[in-house]
Structure 1
Amino acid sequence: MERLLGTLTFVSALGTGLVAGLFFAFSAFVMTALSRLPAEQGIAAMQSINVTVLNPWFNTVFFGSALTSVVLIIVSFFRWGEAGVIYLLAGSLLYLVGSFLVTAVFNVPLNDMLAAVDPASTEGAELWTRYIADWTAWNTVRTVASLAALASFIAAFRMGE
């Protein structure tokens, strides 16, 4: 059981680290680069990204990390008081709330609004300005939460050695 818990913690660290890196890239430079394009081109590029990101690689890491987080939350309650368990719980909650839930509640609806707009329209250009600011702000929340989850999983893994 200890080996399984260690493996699950390690896999969670890898997954949340990959997600944190992806989100970081968007907040650090991708959205800035897209914002420098004419609105029509930026919208079209982001619409394409939002479609192509939904692939088996991304889905496995993003949803898999959510699944391992749920499992680790359950394990945390059964092992409460043991060394490192608070880090398992913290990492899992940080990822589920700060990354997964923020994505579902904020970033996905913004993506859906962008998908529905004609990139060449005035409405599209107006939405694009708001979208860049709002989407990037929430993406930065996801970045920080995923990075904090990664740190928590590393701490839990280290304490379990």
Structure 2
Amino acid sequence: MSETITLITFGSVALIMALVSGVFLGFSDFIMRSLRVSSPRAGIEAMQQINREVLSSAFVFSLIALAPVSLGVMAYAWFALGGPAQGWFIASGAVYVLGTFLVTLFGNVPMNRRLDALAVDGPETEAYWAHYAVTWTRWNHVRTAASALSAAALLVGCAVYA
């Protein structure tokens, strides 16, 4: 790839990572807090609906697509680039895959599936909701930071590369 194409491509990936981070930030900053202070039934029902609707969104497409794209960024940097930019690009991909994608896959998604399988007004649902709202949000903080750091590392790498 030419330098210009590399910078445009990696800059575009950084923008999408930053947008993903922004969605996570909204949840960490005020959405989950609002759902927690709602009645348990209202919070549970809203989160169940959000988790169902998000599956067909541009957000989930971006979140998932960025995992192989990040691996591609890492591979390209490893095999085709040298110098200080290489480390930034590799770090960006690694942080995204580990801190955003794998945390989503093994942290938040299983919790979402369990919540979805519970009846909105079941006795075990309210008890799970108390745990879910706190733990899910903690994992979401990790995803927020990881996707933001990934975007920042990619941008720093672009600046160094240019």
> TM-score, normalized by length of structure 2?
0.94
Distance 2:82 2:115 in 1: 46
- Summarize deviations over 1:124-151 as a string: whole Å, max 9, x none: 1000000001100000011111111111
Task: Specify every segment of 5 or more residues in structure 1 that has no aligned partner in the other structure, as ranges.
Answer: none
Distance 1:60 1:160 in 2: 28
Distance 2:10 2:88 in 1: 10
Match of 1:53, as an amino acid?
V
Match of 1:99, as an amino acid?
T
SS at match of 1:54: helix
SS at match of 1:84: helix
1:12 matched to which residue of 2?
A: 13
- Summarize deviations over 1:24-43 as a string: whole Å, max 9, x none: 11011100000011111111
Match of 2:102, as an amino acid?
L
Distance 2:61 2:6 in 1: 19
Aligned: 1:79 with 2:87: no
Distance 2:48 2:57 in 1: 18
Distance 1:55 1:82 in 2: 40
SS at match of 2:83: coil
1:49 matched to which residue of 2?
A: 50
The 10-residue stretch of structure 1 (3-12 or 36-45) with the greater mean CA deviation from structure 2: 3-12
1:70 matched to which residue of 2?
A: 71
Distance 2:101 2:79 in 1: 24
Match of 1:136, as an amino acid?
T
Task: Specify every segment of 5 or more residues in structure 2 that has no aligned partner in the other structure, as ranges.
Answer: none
Match of 2:94, as an amino acid?
L
Detail structure 1 runs of 4+ shifted over 4 Å in the superposition. Answer: none
Kept after mapping to 2: 8 A contact 1:98/1:146: yes
Q: Aligned Cα RMSD in Å?
A: 1.2
SS at match of 1:22: helix
2:108 matched to which residue of 1?
A: 107
1:121 matched to which residue of 2?
A: 122
1:160, CA displacement in angstroms? 2.0
* Identity across matched positions, percent: 33
Aligned length in residues:
161
Aligned: 1:157 with 2:158: yes
1:84, CA displacement in angstroms? 0.7
1:119, CA displacement in angstroms? 1.0
1:3, CA displacement in angstroms? 2.7
Of Structure 1 and Structure 2, which has the larger fraction of its residues in helix?
A: 2
Distance 2:59 2:147 in 1: 15
SS at match of 2:121: coil
